[in-house]
Structure 1
């Protein structure tokens, strides 16, 4: 028997998103290294605002502060934006440290 709630993608999209301004180099299986700009981040994934060659289902590997390399896959694309879901869970304390390092202005951080 499974323990805990099994979140659907819709439920996970309700997670708090934190605005960030973080350029990253993503490793893509077909396109190789791609420059991307992460514009918001949650504990479950992130959104980029310059996803020109990304299709739904594409997998990328990015490097974030604190957690290092992490794989994610595109769950939606629209215009030049794409939303990615992390392949593994980011622990809450690690996520809070990531936000602190990527968004040093406390006024822009969401309340915890």
Structure 2
């Protein structure tokens, strides 16, 4: 029996990522509240930088604008960065609304 996360979402690292600058407090089962900085995000997951406390397979719970509370699992860790995958894919209309909130400068948004 594997001890890792059992995700229903396949690895979709080719998904379009949107650069953001969004600090968030994540709930971690072992470390409690952990401050993370989301550097980019997609409908399937996000990358954080400056996250030395995360390890591959960790689960965190975060709150995102328009989406609310959502769980994510650490897929990879390299130096001070980590890639996390959401437990479910964010619906496109919610994702677009979230990007409009997180990325108020329209020149930074990717074309849709």
Superposed pair shares fold, TM > 0.5: yes
8 A Cα contact 2:20 2:39, kept in partner: yes
For the pair 1:99 / 2:99, whether they are aligned, the reply is: yes
RMSD over aligned Cα atoms: 1.2
Q: Show structure 1 runs of 4+ deviating over 3 A.
A: none
TM-score by length of 2: 0.91
SS in 1 for 2:96: helix
Aligned to 2:42: 42
Unpaired runs of 5+ residues, structure 2, are 1-7
Structure 2 CA distance, aligned partners of 1:15 and 1:107? 20
Aligned to 1:85: 85
SS in 1 for 2:88: coil
Count of aligned pairs: 105
Unpaired runs of 5+ residues, structure 1, are 1-5
Structure 1 CA distance, aligned partners of 2:60 and 2:98? 19
Aligned to 1:14: 14
Structure 1 CA distance, aligned partners of 2:41 and 2:24? 13
Q: CA offsets per residue over residues 57-78 of structure 1, 9 Å max, x none? A: 0000000001110000000000
Aligned to 1:56: 56
TM-score by length of 1: 0.91
